Every structure is written in C-alpha cells, then in structure tokens.
Chain A
C-alpha cells in the first residue's frame, strides 16, 4: 500500500496508469514530465508558467489550488545538511500543486528560477488562492511575483530583513546551541557558546 511502482525497472515494464494523462498534459503546456510515487510533476519554463496553469485549469479540470511554495537548492548552507549530490545546480525551484475535485488527479508544476534574483509571473489571475501562497513564498525565499496585487509580508513583522527559508539564513537557536537537533550525527559542543548572548 505504501509503495508504488517507482523504481525504474518496474516503471519500464508496466506503464504507470497516469502516464498517458501526464504526457498529454506536459505536451499541452510545453513541459517535461516525471512520475514518482503516484504524483505527476511537470517542469515548465518560466515563460509558460501562467499559461500552463490556465491550461491545467480550463482543459484538464484541475480547478483546485492546493499550494505554492519553493525549494532552495543551495550550496551555501547555514543550517542543516548541505546538498549531498554534487550534480545539483543552485537554483530556486517554485512548485505549485493543483488538483481536480472529482477523481483525485493532482499535478505538481515546477519551474527553476535564478538563485540570486528569482522572478516569476503571479498566478493570482488564474487561481485566486495563490495570493497568500505567493506572499509567503516571496517573504520566505525572496521571489518576486510579477503582477501580484499586494506583495507585502504575510507572516513576518514589517521590519524583518532576510528570507528565512533560504538555506543561507541562519537559525538563531542553532547558532547558540547546536543541540537539540540531530544529536546522533553531531558532536556535542565543547563548551556553551558565548557568541550570541541574549539570543
């Protein structure tokens, strides 16, 4: 139940039941498709971003806006593990998830953006619900959503600087005290750090 034909060998033998749907959709929006664990992920170029969502909504009945967020693929890591895979290039990957409300089909759209100045068109005109999700992604990752009606901070206080979900953004509690965290893999600190008093 928890596993699906995910390893490539099996996938080659038996085509995934969603393969036809995924290929057709990817062709219609000009993207490349990847199916893993019963999810369809379609990567589209930035210039097709809005058009792809329009097509998905109007032609494929994917009317339900689930979420929009981003992944920071970075080498400069302030907390957590750096990327294990050397091949991965630095980028901000925007992901959005849309679904239908009848059969349970769901598609993740993905788009790679420049790591330093990520910019992409806003989806607010296509899915009204994208409004808050884009504000969140904007403050957390520093993405500029062109055409967004009100790209102000959502969670963070007005005077906040920085983009907290960027991998380069330090986590203050970890700066002063590595524990608690991945105790099993990290050495305990030699002595309590005094560098950030009052943090």
Chain B
C-alpha cells in the first residue's frame, strides 16, 4: 500500500501523542550549582526543554544578621554587615554607618567622605568585574574571566593596602574612616592617613581598568554565541522591574534611568560628573552592557575624586562609647547590586533596637518566578546569571 508523505507524518504524530503521553517533570537545580553564586535551589517544572514555572528556595545562607544586630554595638555591626554581599563588602558598610551618623547628627570630615566614595566605587568595579568574569563563563566563554579577574585582583590589592582586608574591610568608623596600622607613623598627635602612593596607584589602576573594559567589550559584545544567548532573552519590562523592587543595573537595563547616587546624599556624588547608562530592551545582554558601562563611569568618578580629595582629618570627634540617640532613619545607597538600605531604629542605647537590612539581591531575584516562566532550560542559567546576585545578599 502506497502511503504519501503527508499521511505518514500525520500518522506518526498521532501515534506519538497517543503512546507517549508526556508528563510535566520537576527538575531540581541546586542548591549547589556553580551559577547560583552561593546556595540557591530552584525547583523547575519542565516539559522537555520548556520551563513552565520555577520556585526558588532560599535560606541556605541565612545567618540572622538582623537578630544579631540587636545584641551588638554599632562598631561591632560593621564587621557583620560587610559579609552580606561579600563581593562588594566595603559598599555594604557605608549606608549603615551613615544611618548611625544621621541619628547622631555627626558631621563627617570631607576627606573621609571622599575616601569612602573612592573605596565604594572601587568596590563597584570589583563587583562588576566578577560579573564580567562569571557571566560569560556561565554561557560558555572562559576567556573574559582571566582579563576581568586579573584587574579585579589588582584593585583588591589596593583595597587591602588601605583597609587591611580584600573582602571584608571593616574600615568605616562612626564619624569617619580608619586607616590600617601600617599607614604611616602611629605616634600620638600625628594623624594617620592612607598608605603613601595610594592615589597615584589608584589612578594607574583606573587606566588598566579602562583597558580591560575595552578588552571585555571586544571579546563579548560582538560574539555571536553570546548575542544569541542573551539578546531578547529574559526581557524584564520596566513596570515589572519596579513592582518587584529590582534596583541598580538590573533596573537601569530595563530602561529606567534611576540611580540613587544622583538623588540621595549619603556620599558627595553631586560634586562629580558621571552618566547613568541605561539599556533599551531589558534583556540579558542589556544587563551585561549596563554593568560594563558602569565600570567606565566609576573610573571617571574615582579620577575626579582623586583630583579633588581635600586635606584634613579622617575622623570626627566621637565619644569613646558610642550611643545613638533614639529615632528612626532609613538610609539607602546605590550599591553595585542595587539599592542597599538600612532601616535603623535606635532607642538611645549602644546597639540598634531594630535593624532592617534591605539588600538588593533579595528583591532582584524575587522576580525569578516571573522571569523564568515559559523559557528554555538553558535560558535559566542565562537569565539567572544576568541578574548578578550573591546569596549572602539574598539571605543576609
């Protein structure tokens, strides 16, 4: 019996649908998957390669910092909170310290503020460099990792020279900053300052960072595979982004040109000239692109800050035992990952009555169930990685 091709195809399709009744499968990803930057578990419902829904399971790194803060003094807390987002530990400290200083109505010396600003921007570059290294790697491109991490390492060396710590500087004090013990003469009456040559070396480092940014752009921006995997993938429209509280580069990639450095006054950013790069499509590629541009903008800010850094003390006069007057304040800052804020409630004691930590990554990945609906399995990694989160920042 002669059967024409069309009939044959119909028959085979019919038999497939009858004999192989497909069933949704639950796929567990993590908690220890390299692309989760910590321990995040995703429970995905999949049919073949198609993902229908994802339920993130978090809490594997919950360390209870909000509870611990209630039994620690203000100076002790900075040691805890720079472990929230360990990729940019320095930047975590600043909004908390500023919150305490606001309640105390303390005037921080200008030089200390400039140094805070320079180190915060260095933390931003080093955080974005980790993204520049890890994101292409998750998509299968290994080379950018070496370019990005090499420059980051030099930046961390500089940070270590000033603060004594690569990841956990614990460098801010209420009323200013404190240079490490090796920084110049420590005799009384001779104020300590930053290590000699720090500003010159930082300026040189910025040149190298710019060069590395160009290299990374050459490697990634025109790469066919990367473009195929990121362009038009994981599009988050602005109205969804704001409703979920997405902030930082993720929000700006969706086309919202909002940056807390322009509106809040926790550090003197208003003195400097810098642009806010924004994406157009809100896809994975834009989130990568915005971070690359932010590295260049941070270089600009640091160079201007070095030019303008005033002389003076690093520390305001504060009492030996720090007590913060009763009150409530919320200070939010533009951290590398987005809006990081501390809602500080003081009852006049040596430690907070309540400290609510608003971390960027928590809100940033709360969009995952929305963003991972109806995507392909490989896109899970592409979308998740593009949000640039750190589980310490999610779980706190």
Q: Which residues of B contact A103 (CB under 8 A)?
A: 263
Q: How far is the CA of A199 from the CA of B258 in the complex (A)?
A: 47
B59: which of A2, A69, A154, A184 is its contact (CB, 8 Å)? A154
Chain A residues contacting B108 (CB-CB under 8 Å) are: 1-2
Is B101 a contact partner of A2 (Cβ separation < 8 A)? yes
Instruction: Provide the residues of chain B in CB contact with A102, threshold 8 Å.
Output: 258
Q: Provide the residues of chain B in CB contact with A21, threshold 8 Å.
A: none
Contact pattern, B 300-338, Cβ under 8 Å of A = 1, otherwise 0: 000000000000000000000100001111101000000
A66 CB contact (under 8 Å) in B245, B326, B328 = B245
Contact with A along B96-127 (1 / 0, CB 8 A): 00100111011110000100000000000000
* Smallest CB separation, A142 vs chain B (Å): 14
Out of A37, A156, A157, A182, which one reaches B71, CB within 8 Å? A182
Contacts of B256 in A (CB 8 A): 101
A63–B239 CB distance below 8 A: yes
Q: From A39, A101, A128, give the contact of B244 (CB < 8 A).
A: A128
How far is it, in angstroms, between the C-alpha of A72 and the C-alpha of B107 when the chains are bound? 31
B residues within 8 A CB of A164? 64, 67
B90 at the interface (CB under 8 A from A): no
Is A129 a contact of B343 with CB atoms below 8 Å?
A: no
Is A97 in contact with chain B by the CB < 8 A criterion?
Answer: yes
Q: Which of A25-33, A44-52, A76-84, A190-198 contacts B (4 or more CB under 8 A)?
A: A76-84
Most A CB atoms within 10 A — which of B64, B265, B354? B354
- Type the 1/0 row for B333-377, where 1 means its CB is closer than 8 Å to any CB of A: 000000101010101111101101010001100110010000000
Nearest to B63 among chain A residues (CB) is: A155
Partner of B262, one of A1, A104, A131: A104
Interface string of B24-41 (1 = CB under 8 A from A): 000000000000000000
* A83 surroundings in chain B (CB, below 8 A): 347, 353
Tell me which residues from 124 to 148 in chain A have a Cβ below 8 Å from any Cβ of chain B: 127-129, 131-132, 140
* B263 surroundings in chain A (CB, below 8 A): 103-104
Verify if B219 is at the interface (C-beta below 8 Å from A): no
Given contacts A101-B251, A156-B59, A184-B350, contact A108 B330 (CB under 8 A): yes
Contacts of B358 on A, CB cut-off 8 Å?
66-67, 97
* Proximity string of chain B (235-253) to chain A, C-beta cutoff 8 Å, 1 when within and 0 when not: 0000110111101000100
**How distant is the Cα of A36 from the Cα of B302 in the complex, in angstroms?**
32
Q: Do residues A184 and B321 form an inter-chain contact, with CB atoms below 8 A?
A: yes
Given A41-B328, A102-B258, answer yes or no on A129-B245 (Cβ-Cβ < 8 Å). yes
- Whether, in the assembled complex, B395 has its beta carbon less than 8 Å from a beta carbon of chain A, the answer is yes
Task: Give, as a whole number of angstroms, the nearest-CB distance from A63 to chain B.
Answer: 5
Question: A81–B244 contact, CB under 8 A?
Answer: no
The smallest C-beta distance from B366 to any residue of chain A, in angstroms, reads 4
Please state if A2 and B102 are interface contacts (CB–CB under 8 Å). Answer: yes
Q: How far is the CB of B42 from chain A (nearest CB, A)?
A: 15
Q: A72-B354, A101-B251, A164-B64 are in contact. Are A128 and B243 (CB under 8 A)?
A: yes
Cα distance, A130 to B260, chains bound together (Å): 21
- Which residue on A lies nearest to B350, using beta carbons? A182
- Rounded to whole angstroms, the CA-CA distance of A54 and B313 in the bound complex is 48
- How far is A123 from B283 in the complex, measured between Cα atoms in Å? 27
Taking the complex as formed, is B179 at the interface, i.e. its CB lies under 8 A from any CB of chain A?
no
Is the beta-carbon distance between A36 and B251 smaller than 8 angstroms? no
Encode A83-98 as 1/0 by CB contact (under 8 A) with B: 1110000000001010
Known: A41-B328, A131-B366. A65 touches B242 (CB 8 A): yes
Q: Let me know if B268 is at the binding interface, CB within 8 A.
A: yes
Task: State A85–B347 Cα separation when bound (angstroms).
Answer: 8
A65 partner, pick from B66, B76, B243, B345, beta carbons under 8 A: B243
The answer to whether B326 touches A129, judged by C-beta atoms less than 8 angstroms apart, is no
- For the complex, give the distance between the alpha carbons of A175 and B363 in Å: 33
A2 close to B327 (CB less than 8 A): no
Which chain A residues border B341 with CB–CB below 8 Å? 66-67, 97
The answer to whether A71 and B243 have CB atoms under 8 Å apart is no
Q: In the complex, are the beta carbons of B329 and A69 less than 8 A apart?
A: no
How far, in whole Å, are A95 and B345 apart by their CA atoms in the complex?
12
CB nearest neighbor in B for A67: B358
Contacts of B345 in A (CB 8 A): 71
Q: Give me 14 other A-B pairs in contact (C-beta within 8 A), A1-B113, A2-B107, A4-B102 excluded.
A: A3-B106, A6-B105, A37-B103, A63-B239, A64-B245, A66-B245, A66-B363, A84-B349, A97-B341, A104-B263, A104-B264, A128-B244, A171-B68, A182-B71
Residues of B within 8 A of A (CB): 58-59, 62, 64, 66-68, 70-73, 76, 98, 101-103, 105-108, 113, 239-240, 242-245, 247, 251, 256, 258, 260, 262-265, 268, 321, 326-330, 332, 339, 341, 343, 345, 347-351, 353-354, 356, 358, 362-363, 366-367, 370, 395
**Interface of A toward B, CB cutoff 8 Å:** 1-4, 6, 36-37, 39, 41, 63-67, 69, 71-72, 79-81, 83-85, 95, 97, 101-104, 106, 108, 127-129, 131-132, 140, 153-157, 164-165, 167, 169, 171, 174, 180-182, 184-185
- A-B pairs, top 6 by smallest CB distance, nearest first, are A104-B263, A155-B59, A129-B244, A101-B258, A129-B245, A80-B70
